[in-house]
Chains A and B, each alone.
Chain A
Amino acid sequence: MKCRTCGQKAVVNMRQHKLALCKEHYLEWIPEQTRRFIEKYKMFTREEKVLVAVSGGKDSLSLWDILQRLGYQADGLYICLGIDEDLSYSSESQRLAGKFAAEHGLKLHIVDIQKEYGATIPQFNLKSHRGRGKPCSVCGLVKRHVMNHIARDFGYDVLATGHNLDDEAAVLFGNTLTWSGEYLLRQGPVLLGTPGLARKVKPLCRIYEREMLAYALLRGIEYIYDECPFSVGSTSIYYKQLLNKLESDRPGAKLSFYLSFLEARKSGLFAEREEIQAELHPCPNCGQPTSAPGLCSFCRMMSR
């Protein structure tokens, strides 16, 4: 298999694009694609300050790498969740995020949940009624709150996450199976900011997870290979496996599923965004917008 650009031996073949590339041209292609999507979906400009949520995994570290190579003003945020029971998942993730920042001379904010809020994610989970015993729901709630809090307090214009196409397709698949209209309405490359809520963007939303792994490996980015111990057997991983089976038989199926959803949403298949905006109220404790009057979910959990 030959690189389409130079004819040398290809190391990555993307069947959905009918495109094979060598290492050198692949490492140029991924940042160029990312730049194209940032501009296409009007995510942010080079004049804006971007906060990248960095987990220590391949996607977020690669995103940070790409943004700084493209010349964007991108700082990092690592949230230490305290998931260190069986294997040192959080400690190792933090070490890798810190190492990447130090090696590239980048600014990394670190928020330790236990120090800041008095409990780790597994401890919060014991106090919460969310998520049927698994801490993933609590974890998502805490991360969203902290990301928004840091973005607002430090004056970032936009919050960028490393969600790739497989992440987006799996979420879309789950929400389609249950026809969760409100979630479908909110899914997309950009979630516009509202007073108190930072704009959220997903610059990798059209790049396959396999391609992001190839980028991290070829670029030599050291990332945490182990999965979060709580994600083992999760529904989202199951959906990713199902979609990969589909992709194997029909190359491009995942991309088409996601892109046709975006087209359908744009053409008005779902309700207009304004209808849910009108329902948001500021939380009387932290000020972040919440869908019901009174304390937001995060502050309700903290008050228990």
Chain B
Amino acid sequence: MVKLVLRDQEFEVRPGMTMLDALKKNDILLESVLCTRDGELIAEDEILKDGDVIKLIAVISGG
């Protein structure tokens, strides 16, 4: 499985789907996050592999 981590939330998706589809499946707007794997930015067409841990970094900041 692929794990998506956004702040203190975790989501799981099946491997083989694109980053964009994984976000859509969990109702996360692409516009609201950047996606990283092993500390590197990945684009939304990246195919997710089994065992991937994708850290989502929230775009919106206030203050």
Contact = CB atoms under 8 A, between A and B. Distances in A.
Q: Please indicate whether A and B come from the same complex rather than being unrelated chains.
A: yes
Q: A11, A13, A59: which has the most chain B beta carbons within 10 Å? A: A11
B31 A57 contact: no
A23 B31 CA distance: 19
Contacts, number: 70
A236 B62 contact: yes
A1 B19 CA distance: 12
B34 interface: yes
Given A214-B34, A228-B62, A230-B63, A11 B41 contact: yes
Given A244-B31, A244-B32, A247-B31, A12 B61 contact: no
A43 to B, nearest CB: 23
A244 B40 CA distance: 24
Contacts of A13: 43-45
Given A217-B34, A241-B32, A166 B60 contact: yes
A227 B63 contact: yes
A231 B59 CA distance: 14
B41 A1 contact: no
Nearest to B33: A210
Chain B interface bracket (under 10, 10 to 19, 20 to 34, 35 or more): 10 to 19
B36 to A, nearest CB: 7
A237 B43 contact: no
Interface residues of A, number: 35
A213 B40 contact: no
B1 interface: no
Contacts of A236: 62
Contact of B63 (A20, A231, A240): A231
Contacts of A273: none
A1 B45 contact: yes
Contacts of B44: 1, 13
Contacts of B61: 57-59, 209, 225, 227, 231
A114 interface: no
Nearest to B36: A217
Contacts of B31: 210, 244, 247-248
Contacts of A245: 29
Nearest to B32: A244
B52 to A, nearest CB: 16
A55 interface: yes
Interface of B: 29-32, 34, 36, 40-45, 57-63
Given A1-B43, A55-B63, 5 more contacts: A11-B41, A209-B60, A210-B31, A217-B57, A232-B62
24 contacts: A1-B43, A10-B43, A11-B41, A11-B43, A12-B41, A12-B43, A20-B43, A57-B63, A58-B61, A59-B61, A89-B63, A209-B61, A210-B31, A218-B41, A225-B61, A228-B62, A231-B62, A231-B63, A240-B60, A244-B31, A244-B60, A245-B29, A247-B31, A248-B31
